[in-house]
Structure 1
Amino acid sequence: MGINNVLLFLGGLGGTEVILILSVILLFFGAKKLPELAKGLGRGIREFKDATKEIQHDIENSVKDDSNTTK
Protein backbone atom coordinates (compact mmCIF):
# COMPACT_ATOMS: atom_id res chain seq x y z
CA MET A 1 0.00 0.00 0.00
CA GLY A 2 2.81 2.42 0.83
CA ILE A 3 4.58 1.94 -2.49
CA ASN A 4 1.31 2.58 -4.33
CA ASN A 5 0.96 5.95 -2.60
CA VAL A 6 4.51 6.86 -3.59
CA LEU A 7 3.91 5.86 -7.18
CA LEU A 8 0.65 7.82 -7.27
CA PHE A 9 2.54 10.85 -5.97
CA LEU A 10 5.03 10.55 -8.79
CA GLY A 11 2.25 10.71 -11.36
CA GLY A 12 2.80 9.07 -14.73
CA LEU A 13 6.36 7.94 -14.10
CA GLY A 14 7.08 4.33 -14.90
CA GLY A 15 9.24 1.90 -13.02
CA THR A 16 12.32 2.63 -15.11
CA GLU A 17 12.08 6.36 -14.49
CA VAL A 18 11.68 5.87 -10.73
CA ILE A 19 14.71 3.56 -10.60
CA LEU A 20 16.74 6.05 -12.63
CA ILE A 21 15.79 8.92 -10.31
CA LEU A 22 16.61 6.87 -7.20
CA SER A 23 19.96 5.85 -8.71
CA VAL A 24 20.87 9.46 -9.45
CA ILE A 25 19.92 10.48 -5.90
CA LEU A 26 22.04 7.65 -4.52
CA LEU A 27 25.01 8.68 -6.65
CA PHE A 28 24.58 12.36 -5.85
CA PHE A 29 24.22 12.10 -2.07
CA GLY A 30 25.82 8.76 -1.30
CA ALA A 31 24.57 5.91 0.83
CA LYS A 32 25.65 7.51 4.12
CA LYS A 33 23.67 10.72 3.59
CA LEU A 34 20.37 9.14 2.49
CA PRO A 35 19.18 8.19 6.02
CA GLU A 36 19.99 11.70 7.23
CA LEU A 37 18.06 13.23 4.34
CA ALA A 38 15.07 10.97 4.97
CA LYS A 39 15.13 11.81 8.68
CA GLY A 40 15.19 15.53 7.93
CA LEU A 41 12.37 15.16 5.42
CA GLY A 42 10.30 13.26 7.97
CA ARG A 43 10.86 15.95 10.59
CA GLY A 44 9.85 18.64 8.12
CA ILE A 45 6.66 16.83 7.18
CA ARG A 46 5.81 16.25 10.84
CA GLU A 47 6.34 19.94 11.68
CA PHE A 48 4.18 20.95 8.72
CA LYS A 49 1.35 18.63 9.83
CA ASP A 50 1.59 19.90 13.41
CA ALA A 51 1.44 23.50 12.22
CA THR A 52 -1.59 22.86 10.02
CA LYS A 53 -3.38 21.07 12.88
CA GLU A 54 -2.62 24.00 15.19
CA ILE A 55 -3.95 26.52 12.67
CA GLN A 56 -7.07 24.43 12.11
CA HIS A 57 -7.60 24.20 15.88
CA ASP A 58 -7.23 27.98 16.24
CA ILE A 59 -9.74 28.59 13.45
CA GLU A 60 -12.25 26.16 14.98
CA ASN A 61 -11.86 27.85 18.38
CA SER A 62 -12.39 31.30 16.91
CA VAL A 63 -15.53 30.12 15.10
CA LYS A 64 -16.85 28.62 18.34
CA ASP A 65 -16.07 31.84 20.22
CA ASP A 66 -17.82 33.93 17.57
CA SER A 67 -20.92 31.73 17.67
CA ASN A 68 -21.02 31.93 21.48
CA THR A 69 -20.77 35.74 21.50
CA THR A 70 -23.52 36.22 18.92
CA LYS A 71 -26.09 34.31 21.00
Structure 2
Amino acid sequence: MKFKTNINCNGCLSKVTPHLDKKVGTGKWSVDLDNSDKILTIQQADIKAEEITETLNGIGFKAALAE
Protein backbone atom coordinates (compact mmCIF):
# COMPACT_ATOMS: atom_id res chain seq x y z
CA MET A 1 0.00 0.00 0.00
CA LYS A 2 1.11 3.53 -0.67
CA PHE A 3 -0.07 6.68 1.09
CA LYS A 4 0.46 10.39 0.45
CA THR A 5 1.50 11.92 3.76
CA ASN A 6 2.65 15.15 5.38
CA ILE A 7 5.74 13.49 6.91
CA ASN A 8 8.22 16.10 5.60
CA CYS A 9 11.48 15.64 7.44
CA ASN A 10 13.62 13.40 9.61
CA GLY A 11 12.10 14.98 12.72
CA CYS A 12 8.62 13.95 11.55
CA LEU A 13 9.96 10.54 10.65
CA SER A 14 11.35 10.07 14.16
CA LYS A 15 7.90 10.87 15.61
CA VAL A 16 6.05 8.31 13.48
CA THR A 17 8.69 5.55 13.65
CA PRO A 18 7.72 3.99 17.01
CA HIS A 19 4.03 4.03 16.08
CA LEU A 20 4.49 2.51 12.63
CA ASP A 21 7.04 -0.01 13.91
CA LYS A 22 4.48 -1.16 16.47
CA LYS A 23 1.57 -1.26 13.99
CA VAL A 24 3.34 -2.60 10.89
CA GLY A 25 6.66 -4.00 12.04
CA THR A 26 10.24 -2.78 11.82
CA GLY A 27 11.55 -2.72 8.28
CA LYS A 28 8.12 -3.22 6.71
CA TRP A 29 7.47 0.43 5.89
CA SER A 30 9.32 3.43 4.48
CA VAL A 31 8.72 7.08 3.61
CA ASP A 32 10.18 8.67 0.48
CA LEU A 33 11.04 12.15 1.77
CA ASP A 34 12.44 13.12 -1.65
CA ASN A 35 9.05 12.62 -3.32
CA SER A 36 6.85 15.74 -3.24
CA ASP A 37 3.92 13.60 -2.02
CA LYS A 38 6.03 12.11 0.83
CA ILE A 39 4.95 8.57 -0.08
CA LEU A 40 4.64 6.08 2.78
CA THR A 41 4.97 2.50 1.51
CA ILE A 42 3.65 -0.36 3.64
CA GLN A 43 4.97 -3.83 2.79
CA GLN A 44 2.57 -5.88 4.87
CA ALA A 45 -0.58 -7.33 3.33
CA ASP A 46 -2.53 -8.14 6.50
CA ILE A 47 -3.14 -4.57 7.67
CA LYS A 48 -5.99 -2.31 6.61
CA ALA A 49 -5.44 1.15 5.14
CA GLU A 50 -7.75 2.61 7.81
CA GLU A 51 -5.42 1.34 10.54
CA ILE A 52 -2.53 3.29 9.02
CA THR A 53 -4.50 6.51 8.55
CA GLU A 54 -5.91 6.26 12.10
CA THR A 55 -2.45 5.64 13.56
CA LEU A 56 -0.97 8.67 11.78
CA ASN A 57 -3.98 10.90 12.51
CA GLY A 58 -3.68 9.98 16.19
CA ILE A 59 -0.19 11.50 16.34
CA GLY A 60 -0.95 14.57 14.23
CA PHE A 61 -0.07 13.45 10.72
CA LYS A 62 -2.20 12.96 7.64
CA ALA A 63 -2.22 10.03 5.24
CA ALA A 64 -4.36 9.36 2.17
CA LEU A 65 -4.25 6.19 0.13
CA ALA A 66 -2.31 6.96 -3.05
CA GLU A 67 -3.78 5.82 -6.34
Instruction: Sort the TM-score into its range (normalised by shorter chain).
Output: under 0.3
More strand by share: 2
Greater RCO between the two (CA within 8 Å, min separation 6)? 2
Q: TM-score, normalised by structure 2?
A: 0.26
Q: TM-score, normalised by structure 1?
A: 0.25
Larger radius of gyration: 1
